[in-house]
Every structure is written in C-alpha cells, then in structure tokens.
Chain A
C-alpha cells in the first residue's frame, strides 16, 4: 500500500460516529464487566479489565517491543515501559504519559522509517491491561544493594545464617525460597509481634522499606542459600478474593477507597502509593506499627494473612486504583481552552479538528488513547503547520479533561457514571 492510500485511510477514519460505535461497544462492555469479570483465572496474572496476555501479544505483534522493553524483555532504544516512569500510573496517567511523549516518539519513528501501528479499542484496552499489570510487577532486586541494606538495616544482627542469638530469629536463608516480595511482607507481617517485641527490647527502630528495598533484600538473601531450596512463588492474586477479604478481615471498617481520609486512616485509593505490588505491601508494613497502635486502642484484633490472602488483598487495592475518581469538569473546560484544544475542536465541526462534543459520555482512557494514537500523527502535522505547540498534561489534568469531554463540550448534561 502506498503512502497516499494510507493517508486517505487515516483521513477517512476521522469520520467519528461510525468509529465510535464500533469501539464503544467493546469498551463499554469491558468497563461494565469491570473487575468482576477478571479473576485470576488459572492462566495468568490480571488485575484490570482487558486481557493482559492478549495485550502483550499486541505489544509484540505491533512491534512496540522492537524499541520498548518491558521488564527487560525487548528493544532498548525507547524507555522500558515496565519501569519508566518509576512511579505509579493509573489508566489516565498512562494516557497522559503517552500523550506527552507521543510527538517525540512519532518523530523518532519517522526517522527510523517505522510506520506507526494503529490499534483497535480492544487492542488498546488489552495493552493498557498489560502495561498496568506489568508495571505492578516487582523487578528482580539488586543483590548488591540488598547486601548494603542488610547491614544498614542491621538485619544481620539477628538474622544471621545459623545465628545462635536467643530468642532465635529465623535464619533468613530459609526465606530465600520466597520469590515474591509480597510473601516476604506477609511472613514479616505475621511474625511482626514477636519481632517488634524483640526489637524494642534491643532498642532498634522499626525497619521501613522504600522503593525496591524488599526485592533487593530478597535478591541478596537468595545469593546466600546453601542449596537449592524450592522456589516459592505466589499464585496469581485475585482482586475478587481481595475484595471479600477487605471486608472479611475488617479493613473496610476503617479504610475507604476513593473516599476522603477518615481521621488518621489513609484512604487506600490515593495515588501517592508506589508502583509495584511488592512496594505497596512494603508500604503497608511501614505503616503497620501506627496502625496497630490505633487498632489496639480501638480494640481491633490484628489480622493474620496467609500469603495468598495478602496477595489478593494487595491486588484488590491495586486494581481498584486503576479507575480514578472522576475529575473536575470545570478544570477540564479551562484546560480545554488553555491548552488550545478548543481552537481546532470547535463544536459543530467548523474547526479544523473534529467536533469532540459527540464524545460525550463515551470518553475513557482507553478510548482517548486509541484515538490519540491512531490520529495523532495527522493532528501533530496540522498543529505543526499552524505552529501550535503540542499540549502537555500534568498529573490529574487528563482526568479533568476527560471529565469535561464526557460531560459534552457544552456541558449541558451531568456526567455519567462510567463504571
């Protein structure tokens, strides 16, 4: 196919209504299914709507893998999407990140004579699921950093290999079998009372883990094994089971999701939390002394978890964060003007860009990402012709913008629930 026909095709797909119908159905369906549809199954590790494995196939088939790596697999000329950016990204933040970096990427692709692939909405949903899942995975730690931590945190003073100190702290080399930071946290969680007591007795401060600390420590401990023990992995976590646990273990009594912080109790849906499940678990660990204090005060028993339960719980909390609370449509409207969107996307279709008011009620991160990706290069070209800068969105701005678009540009109707 020649370049001309490709352009023609691309231009033709600007005809919105037809496309929206075709992509709306699967997307809304997926969202309607929501979390409920996606359990652990027995074939993978999924947290959010869309098929993560299918998303990975898309990622490979469309050639993303040739430049982008994920978790160390794939090309190296573009950022490793499993790691960069280092922090947590929700769905809309993934869109924002994509949006912000898109011109750079398109330019690079043009230089390398790679045609930008196009995605259907379901492919994009799968891709999002894939990226979200992969990003939630802990990277294998750095044993060297782990070693430094091990001495810095003074773990070694009790947990020596074959340490004879009494009361005996467990030989950490036994824990080398744990392959997952979550199970490590779980093990610590369950042992915490004994450990806490001992540490207090010795005057040690409560160890807190940041970033990849747990993974690094695990990697270090793994190098210390004497013989090949079993590799204890976690089975894929089930957000569904986690949801049940959240209530059953009494967490829901204090914690909320996407609500406002109750006095002293953190809202578990806030986005200041880390990227990976392991780090998330570590955060739980870090806060646990405080929590236990207040629990003791309220006379709530300390919950015990099996490692599966811990994983499920974390997965639930994690999956929950994929969907953010709706943005502020007022801020979105302002953004629409400030960023210059409105100068082309004029309602009624009189502008040089398509009328976005028809998107009303149908905007989702996946939808936005799909249309941005498929039509972006054309849009970028036009903007360059008109010497307009490519707008950049900060955290949260994308949510607001989506909210604005969802309400319809004229803001005649109230927002619809999207989930």
Chain B
C-alpha cells in the first residue's frame, strides 16, 4: 500500500519539526556517538578484564561486598521511574502539559532498565552461571523477587512505550521516507481507524493503570534487597516508600535534563516550553522535600533507637568516614534544589537543570551511602577497610551512562521523541475538552456527566473520530 506522502514530512505542518531529527542527522551526532561508543568499548574492556581476573579488580573487599555496581543498580532502577510512572500518573490525571514530555520520559525508563539489570550481571562473580536463577530459583530470596519484578517492569514499560508509539510510527511510515519497512513492521498495520483508536486508548489506559503498581513494586523490591536482611540501617520498614520517593525524585531530575537537552539540540522550544520545566521543577521541589522527610525520619529513628550496631553506621555516615558523602548528598539533594527551585525563577529551564544535575549526583550518593556504610560497619568487629571504586568500576559506570545516552540518542533518530499525535490531539481537541472539564468542576449543571472525569477516554474517543 503505497503512500504518496512518503518523504514529505512537511505535510505534517507545524509538527514536522518533530520528525526533523529522524529525517536529517547532523555530523555532531556522529561525533558525539563516537565519543560515547568510546566509553562503551572502554566499559566492555573493563568488564572483560574483570571477567578475566575476577572481582578482585574492583575495590570491593571483606566486608564491603557490594559497591558501585549495586549503587548503580539501585540508581538506574531509580531513574527508570522517570518515565513510566510520571507519564502514567500525568496521563491518568489528565495533566494536559504532559503531552510533549511523556515519550521522552518513557524512553528513559525502558533504556535505563537494561543498565540496571546490566549492573547486576556485571556484579556477579560468575555471570556464566546467570541462568541458575532460572534453573534453581529460590523464591525466598529478595533478589529473585527483583529478577521477577524488574523483568515484569521491563516488559510492561516496553509495552507502555510501544503502544503510544504506534500512531507515530504509522506517521513515520507514511511520511518519513526512511526505513519504511522497519516502520511498517512496527506500525502493526495502524491505519487510525476508530476501532484501532479505541483499542489503543483502551490499552494505553490499562497499561497506565497497570504500570504504576509495577513501578512502585519494582523499587520497593529493590529496597527489600536491603531491608530484608538484618543488617544495621538496612533492616528498615521505611525503605520501600523511601526508595520509591527517591526513585521518582531522581527520575524527575533525569527527565528534566533529558528534556532540556532535547529541547536544545533539536530546537523543540515550541514543544518543551518553560512551563513544562516549571511544572517539573515544582514536582522536583515537592519530591526534594518528601525525600528529605523520609531521610530525616529514617535517621532520627535510628538515632533515637540507639542500637549500637545501627549507631555505628549512623555515625560513620554523619560524622565518620562517609560524612563528606552524606553531607554532600544532603547538599545536592536538598539544599541546592530547594534553594534554587523555591525561589521565583527568572530562568526556569536553567535552574531546573542545575537542580536536576545536583539531584542526580545527590541521589547516586544517597544510594552509595545506603549500600556501603552498612557493609563497612558489620556487627562483628572488623578491620577498618575502606572502599573506593577502581578504574574497572568507574569505567563500567561511565560506560553504562554513556551507552544509555547513546541509545537514547539513537532512539531519537528513529522515533519522534515528542509524541506527535498526542500533541496534535492536545492542540485540536483538548482545549474544548478541558474547558468542558473545568466547567464540570464548577457549580452548575453537569455538561457531559461526571463519568468522563473518572474515565477520560470517553470524550477523547468521541473527539478523535473526527481526526482519523
């Protein structure tokens, strides 16, 4: 079925900009890709080195058996909450400003999850026996829960990324003029028929509802990896929500950064506006405070309980060897973001980005100061051994980050990073719909009944029929 519009994205009108990254690639892309792939190959080399000589090439030791790999694992899984969770929540809440940011967020989720899982594999002493997890599973192990929940999450969020992509892929099939076969395959024969829209919307909303508990469970389970042991300052009931909050916190921060970069590089100022950053900045501020609340509650409880084993960890964090990292975390997760975001912002984008970078650094430190001090202060008196990552760990960490960025870039070269149909939809239909909705909040007779407030798909469906 030939399409006469192929290769003419400008036919999309104003939204043609969104296809621009796919249609044209600048040389700087390749330069950057090369640099990033350099990091990737270095990480690969580091991993081979580690495989050859053993985990002794890392800075790990007795009793600090876990280090930056596990920190990365928790961190990456945390960031993965950027997308799915945020976009799902915003979708369910009908937050209209979501339309241009959901895609960017969801991609983060899917891609970063691979690195979360990768971190675990890299951390294994015998990755060659990885499949033992399937052959001899022990369902009592929180690590196995993790395996289950992360893979479920990966599946769910991939679907959740893919579903809203379908109309856009169809657009690409029809207009991009590149990789048509590839797009055709992925478009699954999307024609934009009302039935297809109905099914798609249904599916998206089901996934949006599904993905939230899955996402929350993932990070809760990650926290349980620590919380289920009896180790001081790991064995804490608050860890589930604490980790979830931290995850969303870092997720928002990474989303802000990703958006700012996309906006800058692909000239999407029209789509990713200051208001988006303002809203996300507010969200980040809220989570900074929420995060602080949890941190405070956690540490105050520990201090007040005065269990010597816990206190040893507590003091090593607050006043001991890990104090610089701990207070660095407080600075970067609380002081800087709150300081920046709480002020009236003249340049919301820049301040949001600065705050986000700070939060990302801080959240990595937070993961680090959760994992290491506990291990370094076991109940049994032990030699004071300090942990610091070696080049292998740093290389793999950097390589993972670089590869993630690379893959993200590559994604933008194949798929629109801003959801075209959602933006179109917002432009064309949302205004009236919102007006009606707002009216429904106000005193007076219901315009279209209360039902649509609960289930937004109904009016959308009716609206979209005209578009197709």
Q: Do chains A and B touch in the complex (CB under 8 A)?
A: no
A interface residues with partner B (beta carbon < 8 Å): none
